[in-house]
């Protein structure tokens, strides 16, 4: 399920809406907007190719 270095965020907590908002790449005031992931993108060659956004949604039934 998770790999070394992965973080799983439990969405059953009081600040769920904030977590969701901050991690959403299209949020107007989230971590992408504030350049939090810039080092990751540059290290992975974002200027030469598409780089996968390092946050994934995981659903379990």
**Structure token digits, residue 53:** 């956004």
- The closest alpha carbon to 20, from 6, 32, 30, 5, belongs to 30
Res 36: pLDDT: 94
Which CA distances in Å does 1 have to 6, 28, 54, 58?
Answer: 10, 30, 16, 9
Give residue for tokens 């949020």. Answer: 27
Res 3: pLDDT: 81
Name the residue with higher pLDDT: 27 or 59. 27
What would the pLDDT profile of 1-55 be if each residue is shown by its tens digit? 678 888 888 888 999 899 989 999 899 999 999 999 999 999 999 999 999 888 8
């Amino acid at each position: 399920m998770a790999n070394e270095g992965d973080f799983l965020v439990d969405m059953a907590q009081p600040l769920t809406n904030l977590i969701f908002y901050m991690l959403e790449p299209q949020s107007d005031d989230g971590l992408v907007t504030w350049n939090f992931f810039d080092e990751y993108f540059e290290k992975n060659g974002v200027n030469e190719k598409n780089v996968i956004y390092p946050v994934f949604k995981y659903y379990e039934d």
